[in-house]
Every structure is written in C-alpha cells, then in structure tokens.
Amino acid sequence: MKLKFLIIIFLAFSLSVFAQKQTKKDNIFHIVNPDYKLSPHTGMTKQHWKDAATYLLKGAFSYINTMDDAMKFPKQSGKSYPHNEKQVPTEKLEGLCRTLFVAAPLLKDNPNLTINKIKVAEYYRYQISKLVDATSKSFIVPRAKNGGPSQNLVEFGALALSLLVSPDTLWEPLPQATKNALAKTMLSYGDGPTVDSNWKFFNIFVLSFFKEQGYAVNEKLLVNYLEKSLKDYRGDGWYNDSPAYDYYSMWAFQMYGSLWSQYFGNKYYPEIALKFKSNFNDLKTTYPKMFSKNGQMIMWGRSISYRIGAIVPLPLMGFENDANVNYGWMRRISSGVLKQFLQHPEFMEDNVPTLGFYGAFEPAVQNYSCRGSVYWMGKAFMGLLVSDDSPFWTSIENEGAWESELKDGKVFNNFMKDSELLITNYPNIGASEVRSWCHEKVKDDWQKFRSTENYNRLSYSSAFPWQADGENGEVAMNYVIKNKKEAWEAFRLYTFKKFEDEIYYRDVVLETDENIKFNLAEIPLKNGILRVDKNNSDKAIAMRLGHYALPKFDKEIKISTKKIKGNKVTIMDNGKYQLAMIPLLGWDKTEVVSAKGLHPESINSKVINVTSSFNPKKANSTIYATLMLWKKSGEKWNKKELCPVKSIKPIHNLKEVIVKFNNGESKTIKYNE
C-alpha cells in the first residue's frame, strides 16, 4: 500500500513537471503551417508575420479585460521605472502607444480584430480619448509654455506615426471634440523643443499628422527639424545619433525617413523626401551584413530590449521594386531575427517581453525604460504595410551574400569611412561583428548607458553576446585596468585613428588617469582576431584582457590547454562554440574566469582572460599581442589554425610592428600615422 502511494506521488510529480515544461514551451511563438517552398530557411510568410504580431498583442491584451484597463504591465525589478506614482501616467502612455505599433498594421488589414473578447480598434480609440480627458487617470497634461522635451513627446510622436499609417481605423471614428483636444495636447509637444537626436522625428510626425488632417501647424519648425535630421547623415546608410552610432543610427532614422516620405513627405515636401530616399538606398549594401548568416542580430548599443525593431528597414525596401535588392535575403534576415527572439523560451515572462536581450538582463536595461517600453520592437511590423505582391513577400528566401560573396576560409571587412564603423563577416561560423564609436566618461554619462558595456566593448559579435564586467576583474572583449581606487576600470575613451591594410586602429586612455594609454590595432582573421596593442603608460599597472565569453548551457563548459611552438593555447567549449586564446607577446599568464549573473544567455558563464603586471621600468616589451580565435563545437583545431602567426617584430623604436603569417602574408602595423 505504501509503495502504491509512493508511485502515485511520483507520477503526480512527474506530470506536474511535464506540465510546467509544456507551459514554458508553449510560451514561445509557434509557426503554424510553415511554407518551406517560399521560405526554405525559416518557413515564414507574410501570414506568419501577422501571426507573430498577433502573438505579441495577445500577450499585452491578456491584461485587458475591460475598456478601462490600461496597458500597464508587471514591473521588472531593477533600474526600470516607475519608481513612484507620478511616473505611472507616462508608463501607461508608453504601453498604449507602443503596443499600437503592433496593432496598427494588423488593424489596417483587419479593422474588426478582436483579442481577449476586446475589439482592438475600439479599445485604442477609447484609450486615446482618455489621454485628453481631465477626469481620467490616463490624462496627459499639455506641455507647459516653457516646458522642455519629455517622454510624453516620444510617445506622442509614436502615436502620430500609427495615426498616420492607419487613420481610417484609429482617427476618423473619433468625435471632433476629441480630435481637437488631441491636436491641442499633441501639438503642444510637437510644436516645441526636442533632443538633438532621432527625437526630432517625434516632433516631425506630430506636426506632419496634424497638417495632413487640416490643422494649422508650425511648418517652419517642421522643415527645420527635417533639415537637421538630414544633416545627421554620415553616409553608407548611417546617421549619427548625437553622439553615438548604434541600431538607432540605422533602423530608427531610416524607418522614420522612409515612412514619413511614404505617408506624407512625397505629397507635401517631395524634395526632402527624395533626400531621405537617397539615404535609405545607401543602407541596402551595408546593413544586411550586420546580421549573421542565420539571420541573427548583434547585441549592441542602448535599448537593446527593442530587439526585432532592428529589422524594419529591410521589409520597408519592399515599398519599391528595386532590381538591385535581393528581397529573398532581406526576408530571410528579418524572419530569422523574429525567430531568434520570439522562439526563445526566456523572451516572454508574464505574457510580456522581458527587458533584456533574450531573458531579463539588468546590465542591458536603461533607466528610461518601463516594462511597456519593449513594445517599441513592434515597429518591425510596420513591414506589414508593404503590399502582399511586393517582392519582399513573394521572393524565395535565400542567404544572399553568404551564398555568393562571403565564402568560407576568408574574412570580409566593410569599412564605412564617415561613421568610422567596421562590419566584419566570418563565413566559417556564419557570424558578423561590428566595431564602432565609444567615447563617454562615466562622470558625464547621466543616463548611465553610453559609457557601459552597451558601447565600450572592443567589438560586438552576433555569435557571442556581450558579457557584463564583474567587480573582480571578469572582463570579456575589453581591457580592464586596476585604477587609483584599486577598482577594475574598463576602457571606454576610444579615439578612432584609421582603417588601413585591413587593420582597425584606435587609441584609448583610461578615464581616471590620462597617463594610462594604449595604441590599439586589431586584424580580423578567418577564425578570429589578432590584437597587437602598444602600452604607452608611464606607470606600473595591473591589467586584464578578455576574449568573448561563453554561456553554460546543458553541460559544463570544457577547458583544455596545449602548447604549440612555445605558446600556451587555452580552449573553452560550451557545446555550441569553442573559443581559444593565445598570448603571443607581453602577457604574464592566462586564466579561465567563471562568472555568475553577467551573461545574457545563462546565469553561469566563463571567459578566458590574459593578465599582466606592467612596470615600464622592467618591461621586456610594451607590445601586447594576442590571438582570439573561435570555431563551432565539434570541429577539430589544427596547428595552422592555432598558430597562424610566424613572427611579430617591433621596429623603429616601437612605432611599427611587422607581423608575418605562416601563409606567407605580412602586415606592418603603424601606430602613429
């Protein structure tokens, strides 16, 4: 009897665990009836994009049981707001306006859309009307006469964009009194100051929408902000976001310019619209190469929680039938990114996307975000505005440049002169990498994100998401220096010098001590990176340099070491990738460092660090040369791969270094030119 009871308990427990696993599994987006004829790589068609948008919207509407329920979601612990009741109206405004990015394209196609027994269009119209109802808890006070730019401007700019693309469903049915009140409140923000960044477009969309609706607007200010936005352009598809380069410098500016032109500019300001179109055309040859062969995006820059928003310029190419665009590749990338996140089991929590990259990840969160902020990613679904017969939707999926141009056994660099940005493609593992701007002091970084790991890594990879720094010197893809306060401090004050002979040069100084400074030079290789850096510091310092980090998955990360031609090789393998680090010159020792809570893919991770206790009076060399290599798990390393460098010879009083490779090639690193 006792045995029978124990068996029943065991079975009940097993079923409970199984049910929990099934529930977690069912939390991801499932592709129903995939079409592998049209989309052999992802199975996704335009209908599946609509399904994906509906999946996100259903999660949001799980909190809506009546028309009066606000788009307010569970707060994620940490630095995200709200921190007090005064911030709640703006939190609700974000939830409303940002989920509308997902809903607006669906409503344009299906005005009668119903979710959780709520008619979606009616809900949004009702909630929009509450923004100008002084008796409502969602009421937004118009901007004060001397008020500055605020989060309300951002959200009203977002609302204006959705109204612009779907006026029949969202605007026309509103009572005239409500329309007039919205115009008064929204224009109080739009016809006012802004932040000299992509924020100018929030004013632009408010002013443009109400001009389209026949209201008197400040057209002089509208044109001024348009012209200033065009002046932010830096070529090759990239805008500068004052002062950063990140995804906003591409997808936000380019999406805004494209949609503004399509729905307003072509009619009212055709010359300005043509300039935006010309800038948009430039991205077609560079931006797609920032994504991996499998259609995965790089973790890089602020507001990374918006994830899939980064793809929106790709479907918007479908507004025109450009014979020079490989639309099948654009859709393969875009659908790949949708799957990268929407099918990750940690992406959704409480039916709402987390603030993070895959799951919740506090180091990647900014203090201006609330839980509803994540729906900024809904801009990806503005691609649904592209007609069904567009080649973006009808072309057969393919892997584009990865099939025809980016061949195995080589490395490919794409350098953008004006933005000083380098995109590198590694066909052997199908990964992409970016190097870009970072020069922000912690003491000046009042929002605490431009001086952080979001920007200060030496490079960012689609295969290896960045790991946050630890208090004990754990570092990935950067240097850390023991500063005057005996704390580990990461490099962040970089100055780009040049890209020459496939070598990317930067100088860097430590923020808290300008006498600690390096010349940096990195050479992308077919299986990794060769760093040949010069330490120009005039004092003794303890320093560490980290490779990319690996997260722990189901099995323990395997560590192995070997010696090849006198050099110690340290290799990590997590079952998906292998990373090898080989100090060639200058370093004292190599360590494998365990980390906890620092990686976006796993609680536990490891990183290989090389270390040195540098003393300028005793140093044998001020040149620090390091190989950072990688391979897919399961592939064997050969000696040629682990030892591609034949010799490294400093000359001309260390102003130059000659690097000879075993394949017969050589490069001369010139630091001071």
Is 90 exceeded by the pLDDT of residue 519?
Answer: yes
pTM for this structure?
0.94
Q: Which helix (H) or strand (E) holds 14?
A: helix 2-25
What mean pLDDT is predicted for residues 282-303?
A: 96
DSSP per residue over 368-405, as a string?
T--GGGGGGGGGGGGGGGS-TTSHHHHSPP--THHHHT
Q: How do residues 210-221 score in pLDDT, each as one tens digit?
A: 999 999 999 999
Strand order in the sheet with 567-573: 493-500, 503-510, 513-525, 528-535, 623-632, 577-585, 567-573, 558-564
CA atoms within 13 A on the CB side of 390: 25
Query: Which residues, 6+ apart, have CB-to-CB distance to 157 below 8 Å?
Result: 190, 199, 201, 202, 203, 204, 205, 206
3-state secondary structure of 165: helix
In 3-state terms, what secondary structure has residue 307? helix
- Among 23-32, 536-545, 643-652, which stretch is predicted with the lowest mean pLDDT? 23-32
Instruction: Give the integer Cα–Cα distance in Å for 343 and 341.
Output: 5
Amino acid, res. 11: L
Does 585 score more than 50 pLDDT?
A: yes
pLDDT value, residue 8: 42
How far is it, in rounded angstroms, from Cα 161 to Cα 265? 13
Torsion, Cα of 547, 549, 555, 560 (10° steps): 10
Supply the pLDDT for residue 24.
44
The answer to whether residue 15 scores a pLDDT higher than 80 is no
Residue 616 pLDDT grade (very low, low, confident, very high; cuts 50, 70, 90): confident
Q: What is the average pLDDT across 373-387? A: 98
Mean pLDDT calculated for residue range 517-524 = 98
For every residue of 595-613, DSSP letters joined together read: EES--SS-SEEEEEEEEEE
Distance CA 428, CA 226 (A): 43
Give the burial class of 148: count Cβ atoms within 10 A of its Cβ; 0-12 exposed, 13-18 middle, 19 or more buried.
exposed
Average pLDDT over every residue of 450-474: 97
pLDDT reading at 13 higher than 50: no
> Average pLDDT over the chain, rounded to whole?
94
pLDDT the model gives residue 20 = 39
Amino acid residing at 648: I
Predicted confidence (pLDDT) at residue 654 exceeds the cutoff of 90:
no
DSSP structural state of residue 360: B
pLDDT band of residue 568 (cuts 50, 70, 90) is: very high
Query: Which amino acid makes up residue 145?
Result: K
Which residue's entry shows tokens 């935006």? 276
The whole-number pLDDT of residue 618 equals: 80
Which residues neighbour 616 within 8 Å (Cβ) at sequence distance 6 or greater?
537, 538, 539, 540, 622
pLDDT of 46 over the 90 cut: yes
At what angle are helices 120-130 and 88-109 packed, to 10 degrees? Answer: 150
Is 2's pLDDT higher than 70? no
pLDDT of residue 6: 42
Would you place residue 26 in the very low, low, confident or very high pLDDT band (cuts 50, 70, 90)?
confident
Angle, helix 176-190 to helix 120-130, in steps of 10 degrees: 60
Sorting pLDDT into bands at 50, 70 and 90, what band is 621? confident
**Quick one: CA dihedral 83, 87, 88, 94, positive or negative?**
negative
CATH number of 410-670: 2.70.98.70
What's the pLDDT at 595? 97
Task: Output Rg (C-alpha) for the chain, integer angstroms.
Answer: 26
- Tell me the CATH number of domain 31-402, given options 3.55.50.30, 1.50.10.10, 1.25.40.20, 3.90.1170.50: 1.50.10.10
The pLDDT assigned to 27 comes to 87
Q: How many Å is the maximal CA-CA distance in the chain?
A: 88
Cα distance between residue 581 and residue 547, in whole Å: 7
- pLDDT the model gives residue 457: 98
Mark out the alpha helices in 26-87 (DSSP H runs).
Answer: 46-61
Tell me, what's the pLDDT at 667?
97
613 pLDDT higher than 60: yes
- Are 516 and 537 in contact by the 8 Å Cβ rule? The answer is yes
Query: How much of the chain exceeds pLDDT 70, in percent?
Result: 96
